[in-house]
Amino acid sequence: MHSLFEPPLFGRLRSARRVLVAGAGGGFDVYAGLPLAIALRAQGKDVHLANLAFSDLNRLDLDDWLYPGVAAVRPGSSGDDAYFPERTLARWLDSRGRPSVVHAFPRVGVRPLRDAYRHLVAHLGVDAVVLVDGGTDILLRGDEAGLGTPEEDMTSLAAVAALDGVDRLVVSLGFGIDAFHGVCHAHVLENLAALDRVGGYLGALSIPSRSPEAEAYLDAVAHAQRATPERPSIVHGQIAAALRGQFGDAQFSARTAGSELFVNPLMGVYFTVDLPTLAERVGYLGELAGTETAVDVAMVIEAHRDRVERRPRRDIPH
């Protein structure tokens, strides 16, 4: 039973002692989990961070690998100086006196990622996994007008859905950002309503802009922008702008020049769903189980899109 006094996200995690907060979609996705991780640590929980990586993990030293497919990235780990979000985050954490290991998974198919997650969950002894997505495309089930960039999100979703013995949640931060990639956000809201009818939607929770969690997140994003000036995160640049109270076409990088942004307070809201319930409603997720590579995943999704009847695009009439 949920209560207005306790957000369902924290109600579900109340009994968890060790929590893995993992970026689902690669890149800087793990940064979307920072406010949650900091809040959970303030409650005395043992929180670990992980990310599906776009980084070149082949440059890591052998000692950085816990298992095949799972690396422990530290502030001093070897890697690309121009783009390495996991190490950038590890360095920010270290500079702020926080635990500074960020686990990284190579960009692979579902079968090897599932095995890697099983090893990491056992190694850390976690009893809950929270997949975080910067954006909303992880909430799409396959029949929408546009899917955004679903390959990595769905690989992570399928891998974690197969885990046993741990609580599993999905948290989305950055509502509206995926419009740039063709996502119809009326369909996102429709999907959340459908999940709510079966008990799978756990509500929305704003990150208070003047909270310690928001301040730490903003500091981490600014640090990442300085460390990665050629490839700053478009997603987190907009979320950060929203948490600073900016609105509309709040430009922050040459990467968005020529595009009109719509920064707004909804970008600073966590939308939470039960992961197994969400996974059951993705029309092609079962077909991803045996995929070995990211290319395999993309081919399954493309084949599903070719045969499914798509919902027509619609506007949010407000």
Q: What is the mean pLDDT of residues 240-250?
A: 94
Name the DSSP class of 231: S
39 or 254, which is more confident?
Answer: 39
Q: What is the pLDDT of residues 63-108, one digit of tens each?
A: 999 999 999 999 999 999 999 999 999 999 999 999 999 999 999 9
84, with CB counted inside 10 A (0-12, 13-18, 19+), is buried
Using the predicted structure, report yes or no on whether residue 45 has a pLDDT greater than 90.
Answer: yes
Q: How confident is the model at residue 32 (pLDDT cuts 50, 70, 90)?
A: very high
Q: What is the pLDDT of residues 296-317, one digit of tens each?
A: 999 999 999 999 999 999 999 9
Contacts (Cβ under 8 Å, ≥6 apart) of 23: 29, 30, 31, 32, 33, 50, 51, 52, 131, 132, 133, 134
Cα separation, 274 vs 280, whole angstroms: 10
- Does pTM surpass 0.95? yes
- DSSP letters along 237-273, please? HHHHHHHTT--BS----GGGTTS---B-GGGGEEEEE
Which region among 1-5, 11-15, 259-263 has the lowest average model confidence (pLDDT)? 1-5
Residue 205 phi/psi, 5-degree rounding, is -140, 115
Mean model confidence pLDDT for the chain: 96
Using the predicted structure, report yes or no on whether residue 254 has a pLDDT greater than 80.
Answer: no
Going by C-alpha positions, the residue among 278, 267, 232 that lies closest to residue 35 is: 267
Q: What is the pLDDT of residues 4-17, one digit of tens each?
A: 899 999 999 999 99
Residue 171 is predicted with a pLDDT of 98
Joined tokens for residue 19 = 């929590």
14, with CB counted inside 10 A (0-12, 13-18, 19+), is exposed
Residue 233 is predicted with a pLDDT of 93
Contact 65, 105 (CB under 8 A): no
Joined tokens for residue 150 = 């679903």
Using the predicted structure, report yes or no on whether residue 256 has a pLDDT greater than 90.
Answer: no
Secondary structure class of 190 (helix, strand, coil): helix
Alpha-carbon dihedral angle through residues 263, 30, 228, 206, given to the nearest 10 degrees: 30
Going by C-alpha positions, the residue among 312, 317, 245, 309 that lies closest to residue 283 is: 309
Using the predicted structure, report yes or no on whether residue 124 has a pLDDT greater than 90.
Answer: yes
Q: What is the pLDDT of residues 201-216, one digit of tens each?
A: 999 999 999 999 999 9
Using the predicted structure, report yes or no on whether residue 1 has a pLDDT greater than 80.
Answer: no
Cα separation, 203 vs 10, whole angstroms: 11
Residue 258 is predicted with a pLDDT of 76
Cα separation, 298 vs 23, whole angstroms: 19
Q: What is the pLDDT of residues 162-203, one digit of tens each?
A: 999 999 999 999 999 999 889 999 999 999 999 999 999 999
Q: Could you give the percent of the chain with pLDDT greater than 70? A: 100
Joined tokens for residue 93 = 């954490």
Using the predicted structure, report yes or no on whether residue 257 has a pLDDT greater than 80.
Answer: no
Give how far Cα 55 sits from Cα of 29, 81, 237, Å: 12, 10, 19
Using the predicted structure, report yes or no on whether residue 260 has a pLDDT greater than 90.
Answer: no
Q: How many other C-beta atoms lie within 10 A of the C-beta of residue 253?
A: 15
Q: What is the mean pLDDT of residues 43-52?
A: 98
Q: How confident is the model at residue 3 (pLDDT cuts 50, 70, 90)?
A: confident
Which region among 183-192, 213-222, 234-243, 251-260 has the lowest average model confidence (pLDDT)? 251-260
Residue 243 is predicted with a pLDDT of 97
